[in-house]
Structure 1
Amino acid sequence: MGTVRVAMCQTVCLDGDRKGNLARAERAVAEAAAGKAEIVCLPEMAIYGWVNPDAHERAHPIPGADSDRLCELAARYGVFLCAGLAEKDGKHLHDSAVLIGSQGQMLAKHRKINILAGLMTPPYTPGRDITIAETKFGRVGLLICADTHSADILASMMELRPAFVIVPYGYAAVEDAWPEHGKALEEVVVTAAKTIGAPVVGTNLIGQITHGPWTGRTYAGHSVAADKTGRIVATAKDFDPDTLVVDLPLD
């Protein structure tokens, strides 16, 4: 059995603060690279914030300015990089995740399928496909947050037999529900790992939702990595930014 060295980088995301969020992402990537991480994982919608309707006007296509900046980071620090970001495609806005190689090349893009349409107006446009990237580590699956709540999506990922799966999260609840709500995130990641039969790395945000019916709900970290049996390998801090480097066991 081998391992892959993965960093869960739960960063502070302030809705709409593109420059600040990118600066915090770069600092986390640098910390992860210093810890000899091979793959660096950032959260869902790490540049503009989740269910932030401003992204309809500010987001870029993929490839485009936002993804190009992430590709530059991956190449500069010599790491594979997974990040959640807003993707503009014509009139459509997708909640997407990218996997970038260590030379800055785009390897895969996943568009979130289970979009929770009632939380933003107009809503994200859902994706349709389960995403796998062929890498030197094996087949890497990409899902995003609420995708892992769908038994059908998990079953479809299982059929693709990934070596492991990376999931950017924007997992939120009312402030007083934390840190106990971290156990709910653990259960979701554990269930996903056991269902898919592969390790799952879930990296959550730090911050608050500032738009829509969930305004005021808090992202409080507690990022989780689990092996293929559902055993929790590591959990990151509650409420605080964290760059946690984990040796993830693979078959």
Structure 2
Amino acid sequence: MTMIRIAAIQAASRAASFADKWQGADVAHALELLDRAAAQGATLACFPELYPLVGGAELCAKARALGIHVIAGLADGQPGRWHNTSVIISPQGRIVGRQTKNHPTAGEVDNGVVAGDTFQVFETELGRFGIVICADFAFFTDGVEACRKGNADIIFNPAVWFALAEAYPHTVAGRHLEYSVPVIGVNVARPEKGRNDSTFPPAGGFSTVCVPPPVADMDELWTWFRTRPEGIDSTRGFVHTLGAGEDMIVVDVDIDAVRRFPGYFSSRVTERSQAA
């Protein structure tokens, strides 16, 4: 059994503006949040999209000090022309993976974000990870499809939903059920009033994590559905969702069980599981 403990950190930005983020306004708090995640036994901690934006050296040093993997949102480039990137940092304090956002929003393009063009599955000490950032996950299929074809054990979705955040859990759960792979959806927390773009009211929250049940065949899956203590319709312990404020979800994922999972209904997923 290869068990990993993942902390999905729904972080609240300390920045009063995006310019403040470029100046490192969120870095110190990000390091504090990593301490809290490690104190709960996390072997991997994932931040939202664009969080903390800068501070790669500090994050690498903290990952090394804590001995954990970290997924963080870091800008690749400088204001005016940059990639919205999520990186994987190893427990040795090295960046071992970089995933760009390939479908930036119009607002991001206006803010200097350049689109990426590749989705990857990253081999790590813990398993095979795919990262599909925000809109790439919610409104497009090429990223999730690439992760499935690459036999990703887990898909991470660092996100910033600037509106309709209560819809975010449905998006994560839908992708999970479609592709039968664990999904770690990490949204930014709803900021305090005055800590957001003046164009929009404060929004965010409702980070959601879905992990398939530890079953090895369809008979076990049907039994799992029918005999759940909370009832067949309950999502308790299966879909984990936060509220609007800063918080974190900590879940254990058995990578070996994930690789044995036959999928819910899709023959495409069954083929993925067999290929793994």
Give the TM-score normalised by structure 2. Answer: 0.73
Structure 1 position 119, deviation (Å)? 4.9
Q: Is the radius of gyration larger for structure 1 or structure 2?
A: 2
2 CA distance for matches of 1:6 and 1:132? 18
> How many residues are treated as equivalent by the alignment?
223
Matched, 1:234 2:244: no
Instruction: Indicate the percent of aligned positions where both proteins have the same amino acid.
Output: 26
* Structure 1 residues 115-154: aligned runs within 5 Å: 115-149=104-138, 150-154=140-144
1 CA distance for matches of 2:82 and 2:179? 28
2 CA distance for matches of 1:205 and 1:219? 9
1 CA distance for matches of 2:42 and 2:251? 8
Structure 1 position 20, deviation (Å)? 3.5
* Structure 1 residues 1-251: aligned runs within 5 Å: 2-13=2-13, 14=15, 15=17, 16-17=20-21, 18-48=23-53, 66-88=55-77, 92-149=81-138, 150-173=140-163, 181-182=165-166, 184-206=167-189, 207=191, 209-210=196-197, 215-228=199-212, 232-236=238-242, 238-250=243-255, 251=258
Q: Name the structure where strand makes up a greater proportion of residues.
A: 1
Structure 1 position 248, deviation (Å)? 2.7
Where does structure 1 differ by over 4 angstroms across 4 or more consecutive aligned residues?
none
After superposition, the Cα gap between the structure-2 partners of 1:210 and 1:79, relative to the gap in structure 1 and judged at 3 Å, is same
Q: Deviations over 1:139-168 (max 9, x none)?
A: 111111111121232222211110111121
1 CA distance for matches of 2:254 and 2:240? 12
Contact residue 173 and residue 239 of structure 2 kept, 8 A: no
Contact residue 158 and residue 195 of structure 1 kept, 8 A: no
Contact residue 145 and residue 169 of structure 1 kept, 8 A: yes
Unaligned runs of 5+ in 2: 214-234, 259-276
After superposition, the Cα gap between the structure-2 partners of 1:196 and 1:123, relative to the gap in structure 1 and judged at 3 Å, is farther
Unaligned runs of 5+ in 1: 49-58, 60-65
Q: Amino acid of the residue matched to residue 12 of structure 1?
A: A
After superposition, the Cα gap between the structure-2 partners of 1:221 and 1:249, relative to the gap in structure 1 and judged at 3 Å, is farther
RMSD: 2.3
SS state at 1:126 partner: coil
Q: Deviations over 1:114-152 (max 9, x none)?
A: 111245524410111112211122211111111112123
Q: Amino acid of the residue matched to residue 204 of structure 2?
A: A
Give the TM-score normalised by structure 1. Answer: 0.80
After superposition, the Cα gap between the structure-2 partners of 1:88 and 1:234, relative to the gap in structure 1 and judged at 3 Å, is same
Q: Deviations over 1:80-111 (max 9, x none)?
A: 00011221069631111000111101110000
